[in-house]
């Protein structure tokens, strides 16, 4: 499957005026054709745009892994961003759910997910599309975090990380995304649906579907940044502090409860702790998380 749209203007930045972009450009040296592991998030979007800017749209493909752990809204949004950039999209069906280690949902779950994706890319796409390299959107901040086991899989498969190697942290990535007016420039982080299930509780397609449906419903109610954590009959909803009061105030509170129940949960609980990115993994790793 492909999507085509207006490419990023290659003249927006002169590398001589932007040292970080110049460093990023250097990461593509010697690469003829590049595959970008693409999710539609801001990191992979900037990576894809930078690659198209430097190499040309005819020498870059965006590779989107599709499985039950990918929210339907994220799949559609990824195609929208790639269309804006002008890069073709190749969808690869991944089967991480067939791996017992992934379903077991330990703190290393992301390793098996990324290993599955990069294995599929190696087996199906590298030769078919004559790719010289594959890259993914780890930034310099991600490289310092202890809760990113997927980075180990990237290393084992020799996947490039141009953003991190160029020293671009999240703030720098956002700055480039806004300068290029990418649709994902201000998009909140959106980890895969499996991250909503506590570690050591089995990941199943049914649980992933419940979370996907519940989050789609909250999006329709006007929420933009949130998580629905799966705790059996209970959906624990994490929201930014600014959204907490209105979420528990009628009539919206009733709408939330009905939305959650339609997704198959019995109870809807709003967590007063607010958003807690990476909380499950950091807790398992024994690191304090506020």
Sequence spans of domains, the chain: 15-179, 193-284
pLDDT tens column, 67-77: 999 999 999 99
Residue 290 has pLDDT above 70, yes or no: no
Cα atoms in the 13 Å half-sphere on the side-chain side of 16? 0
**pLDDT top residue among 207 and 11:** 207
Q: Quick one: pLDDT at residue 144?
A: 87
Pick the closest to residue 46 from 161, 214, 126 (CA basis).
161
What's the whole-model pTM score?
0.88
Which of 205, 211, 214, 192 lies closest to 70 in space, CA to CA? Answer: 192
185-211 pLDDT, tens digit per residue, is 999 888 899 999 999 999 999 999 999
Handedness of CA 159, 165, 166, 170 (dihedral sign): positive
Q: Could you say which of 3.30.300, 1.10.110, 2.20.28, 3.40.50 is the CATH number of the domain covering 193-284?
A: 3.30.300
Does residue 288 register a pLDDT over 50? no
Q: Would you list the DSSP string of 34-72?
A: EEEE--SSHHHHHHHHHHHHHH-GGGEEEEEEESTTS-H
Other C-beta atoms closer than 10 Å to the C-beta of 17 total 8
Question: 3-state DSSP call for residue 91?
Answer: strand
CB-based contact 104:23 (threshold 8 Å):
no
Q: What superfamily would CATH give domain 15-179?
A: HUPs (3.40.50.620)
């Amino acid at each position: 499957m492909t999507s085509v749209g207006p490419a990023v203007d290659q003249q927006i930045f002169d590398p001589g005026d932007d040292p970080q972009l110049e460093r990023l450009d250097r990461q593509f040296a010697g690469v003829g054709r590049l595959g970008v592991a693409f999710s539609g998030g801001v990191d992979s979007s900037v990576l894809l745009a930078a690659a198209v800017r430097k190499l040309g749209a005819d020498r870059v493909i965006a590779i989107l892994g599709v499985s039950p752990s990918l929210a339907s809204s994220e799949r559609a949004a990824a195609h929208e961003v790639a269309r804006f950039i002008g890069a073709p999209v190749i969808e690869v069906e991944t089967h991480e759910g067939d791996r017992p280690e992934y379903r077991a949902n330990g703190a290393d779950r992301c390793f098996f997910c990324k290993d599955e994706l990069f294995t599929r890319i190696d087996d199906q796409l590298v030769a078919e599309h004559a790719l010289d390299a594959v890259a993914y959107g780890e930034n310099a901040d991600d490289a310092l975090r202890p809760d990113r086991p997927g980075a180990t899989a990237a290393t084992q498969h020799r996947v490039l990380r141009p953003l991190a190697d160029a020293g671009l942290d999240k703030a720098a990535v956002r700055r480039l995304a806004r300068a290029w007016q990418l649709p994902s420039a201000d998009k909140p982080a959106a980890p895969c649906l499996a991250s909503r299930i506590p570690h050591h509780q089995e990941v199943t397609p049914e649980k992933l579907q419940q979370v996907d449906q519940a989050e789609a419903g909250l999006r329709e109610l006007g929420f933009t940044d949130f998580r629905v954590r799966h705790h059996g009959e209970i959906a624990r909803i994490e929201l930014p502090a600014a959204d907490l009061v209105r979420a528990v105030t009628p009539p919206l509170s009733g709408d939330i409860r009905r939305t959650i129940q339609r997704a198959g949960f019995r109870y809807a609980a709003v967590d007063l702790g607010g958003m807690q990115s990476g909380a499950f993994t950091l807790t398992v790793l024994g690191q304090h998380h506020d």
